[in-house]
Amino acid sequence: MTTTPTSALPQLPFPRPDILDVGPTYRTLACTAPINPVRTAAGDVAWLVTGYAEARALFADPRLGRSHPDPENAARISGSAVLGGPMGTAATEAADHAAMRKVLTPAFSARRMSRLRAHVEDLVDGLLDELAAHGSPADLHEVLSFPLPVLVICELLGVPFADRHRFSAWSAGACNLNDRAASTAALGQLFGYMRELVVRKRAEPGEDVISDLVATVDGPDADGRVAGLGAMLLFAGHETTVTRIDVGTLLLLAHPGQADALRNDPGRVAGAVEEILRLGAPGGGGLPRYAQADIDVAGVHIRSGDAVLLAVSVANRDPEVFADADRFDVTRTANPHLAFGHGPRFCIGAGLARIELQAVFAALPARFPTLALAVPVEQLQVRSDVLTGGLTALPVTW
Ligand code: HEM
């Protein structure tokens, strides 16, 4: 795929000494060209796209997909069973994906989401009461960042909150980047759990998305398909948001002037959240695609079957698009970040994630104005073993 000797290619995951930055290797590559060949964590070759314009165009390009015409010989991205290699069938991917969007989109309609807003704000208030009651110091990850998205996704899907530690462990296990057998087993357990839930919802429907899906999806193996969709939502809908709450808090703690600006004018919260989404991408590596045809872009010839990684966190710092791109600025107005992707696979839960993040970052700085890290930032444990990255704990004082 390239004339660069492949043994010399930089290999993912790149070191990331500072969780609030993308790391030096990404920066060097982004300065070299918007698209560079790299070695994936699995040791295969892929195109890493760091330029904003190129990433946005490729997100929307129908010649890229998640499937591969010859999956056995596709470049592997990582050891994870989720996004670690090709998914789906090339011949039916577009139709399967359109059908998935058609079934899921109503569950996340703008109306349904705006009805949820007040409830999410109540949940945040309740968790902040618990934080206050716990007293300083506390682990913000444990008390706020983890339970909030999990409470919300559980209620939305009709999943018992009491099961949260089980499904979170499977969900985290499924995105283990290094152990394919463990990742596949965890995904199987998550799926099995959802299958049992689907059977229960069929017998006793509730006011929730899984019950709606049970009523909508028919045809062969309808329960299996609903379980698959439910597992995907449980997976996509919690860890992503958990990590943005952690990293958003860290960004505000690292920029006290910006936290003050937000506290003094809570109307800035929507802009602050967009800025957190732009800069606060905890994972690395990029969203995987496979070329379904030859593509010429930015002077690079991507051949049919090549793996492509859309490095959103780097594209979101492209100086061609964002003035003073590395600056965290809650008052930034033009902010067309790619944190939720772009094009046909644009995040279905973006509206929900925004509601959760806005509720957190409206309430947290106001109620805990003296919040500070309880340990030096270098001591925070950044996870490099899972797809979603993020922190294991966020010790704070106030
Ligand atoms: C801040 C939190 C979140 C972030 C940063 C995020 C990010 C993303 C991104 C980048 C994609 C596109 C993936 C790709 O193009 O390959 C995506 C897709 C998706 N997200 Fe989210 N997401 C978040 C929260 C959520 C929530 C709360 C839900 C649901 C409850 C959700 C459900 C989905 C689904 C179902 C897809 C797949 C869409 C498709 O393939 O058509 N996400 N998300």
- In a structure prediction context, what are the per-residue pLDDT tens digits for the chain, which is 398 residues long? 544 566 689 999 888 888 898 989 999 999 999 999 999 999 999 999 999 999 999 999 999 999 998 999 999 998 777 778 899 999 999 999 999 999 999 889 888 888 899 999 999 999 999 999 999 999 999 999 988 998 998 889 998 888 888 877 887 777 666 777 888 888 888 899 999 999 999 999 998 999 999 999 988 899 999 999 998 898 888 888 999 999 999 999 999 999 999 999 999 999 999 999 999 877 667 999 999 999 999 999 999 999 999 999 999 999 999 999 999 999 999 999 999 999 999 999 999 999 999 999 999 999 999 999 999 988 887 776 656 668 889 999 99
Ordered by start, the domain boundaries in the chain are 6-384
Note the pLDDT of residue 268: 96
How far apart are the CA of 349 and the centre of ligand 1, in A? Answer: 6
Strand, coil or helix: 38: strand
Question: Which residue lies with its CA nearest to atom 39 of ligand 1?
Answer: 345
Pocket residues for ligand 1 (CB within 6 Å)? 101, 153, 232-233, 236-237, 240-241, 244, 287, 339-341, 345, 347-349, 352-353
User: What tokens appear for 344 in the block?
Assistant: 């046909």
Q: What are the residues whose beta carbons fall under 8 Å from the beta carbon of 377, sequence distance 6 or more? A: 18, 19, 250, 254
Predicted TM-score (pTM) of this structure: 0.94
Q: How many CB atoms lie within 10 A of CB 135?
A: 9
How far apart are the CA of 232 and the centre of ligand 1, in A? Answer: 10
Superfamily of domain 6-384: Cytochrome P450 (1.10.630.10)
